[in-house]
Amino acid sequence: MRGEIRSVLAAGKICTVILVVLIAMTVPGDDVAFSQAGAGTAGRAALFTAIDLTPSGFTNTHAWGISAGRQVGDGYDQATGETHALLWRGTATSVVDLNPAGFAESEARGICGEQQVGNGKGPATGGRRHALLWRGAAAGVVDLHPSGFAASEALGTSGGQQVGYGSGPTAEGDHALLWRGSAASAVDLNPSGFSSSRAAGISGGQQVGYGSGPTTEGEHALLWRGSAASVVDLHPREFGSSQALGITGDQEVGWGYIDVGAGMPAWVFHALLWRGSAASMVDFKSSGFQALGTSGEEQVGVGNGDALLWRGSGTTVVDLHAFLPPGFEHSYAAGIDSNGDVVGFASSSESYSSHAFLWKRNAPKAVSSPGQDIARCENP
């Protein structure tokens, strides 16, 4: 479950933290405090251990999705000089290069169980980007690219279904797409009244994304249930634009762009959480924050250059950047699974390249209430 998130990377940290950071916030129902071990905390273990997933032979790596102990992303292959889709099992040495034969480059953007999705291009595609579906190896890749589109990309998968978008030449703008494992199965989700849309995440029989058209002014966060006609507009009126980028169960997450100026315009990002309708929106009310993934209980994203985790409100924020080893200036959390493990990446202040990271939870997650531990690959 991952969305189109390249364009929303926050500007960066506004200061350098020199002293050891201590974050201690007990969340109701959890028996472990969110903390970064430091001076005076010898008896308290850190909630997360950050694992650098960058494998030998690769630089500038990113992790975008996580499911059941596996992580997906991409990295720059030094041998070929191209970006390759990558699959991990919790360590850098476990990496599997998913770049298929006939493709010069590829990216993996989402994962659920045995399926991974993303995109690739090369001689096999005429140099145009095609949505791709893998099942754990480069061999046997399925090209999901549907007829009538010039390019396509898959961003999320769940229950044997995949979501993403296609663009041109016959489509005006991008069109959100839903697949069931083959190019021929593609369903155009672009709603009436919208000239462009993208589907970014999927959970069971529901899909999330965003779209725009002649009457929307900015982008609107959208929720579908398998067809263009089923669309629900999640956009909150007080925001200029919004995007829904992640979904699990009955939770959708994303961001809204809001004017917080008094007299003079001052537009900032706010992380947002929905439960199926615009009226259900919860604003995390912190400037510069964006939510990108959810486990159905916890949410992850970025704010002011730091990877962040929440538990349903802005007051529960945990700075995941504090668990990283020294030397990283910015970080970004892109996905979270039902165990509470998080993936993303961090950029080095020295090399200016990104390292894919897994934030592995050290303590067992609190027992979920019935029906809430649903970050799994359910059937629609």
Q: What is the pLDDT of residues 122-172, one digit of tens each?
A: 999 999 999 999 999 999 999 999 999 999 999 999 999 999 999 988 767
Residue 237 has φ and ψ, to the nearest 5°, of: -60, -30
Average pLDDT, the chain: 86
Residue 202 is assigned to a structural domain of this protein: yes
Residue 276 is assigned to a structural domain of this protein: yes
For residue 318, give its domain range: 23-361
Residue 49 is assigned to a structural domain of this protein: yes
Q: Can you give the pLDDT at residue 376?
A: 54
Residue 17 is assigned to a structural domain of this protein: no
Q: What is the pLDDT of residues 268-292, one digit of tens each?
A: 999 999 999 999 999 999 889 999 9
**Structural domain count of the chain:** 1
Residue 1 is assigned to a structural domain of this protein: no
Q: What is the 3-state secondary structure (H, E, C) of the chain?
A: CCCCCHHHCCCCCCCCCCCCCCCCECCCCCCCCECCCCCCCCCCCCCEEEEECCCCCEEEEEEEEEECCEEEEEEEECCCCEEEEEEECCCHHHCEECCCCCCCEEEEEEEECCEEEEEEECHHHCCCCEEEEECCCCCCCEECCCCCEEEEEEEEEECCEEEEEEEEECCCCEEEEEECCCHHHCEECCCCCCCEEEEEEEECCEEEEEEECCCCCCCEEEEECCCHHHCEECCCCCCCEEEEEEEECCEEEEEEEEECCCCCCCEEEEEEEECCCHHHCEECCCCCEEEEEECCCCEEEEECCEEEEECCCHHHCEEHHHHCCCCEEEEEEEEECCCCCEEEEEEECCCCCEEEEEEEECCCCCCCCCCCCCCCCCCC
Q: Can you give the pLDDT at residue 309?
A: 98
User: Beta strand pairing status for 267-274 and 306-310?
Assistant: unpaired
Residue 368 is assigned to a structural domain of this protein: no
Residue 346 is assigned to a structural domain of this protein: yes
Residue 6 is assigned to a structural domain of this protein: no
Domain containing residue 114: CATH number: 2.130.10
Q: What is the pLDDT of residues 333-372, one digit of tens each?
A: 999 999 999 999 999 877 779 999 999 999 876 655 444 3
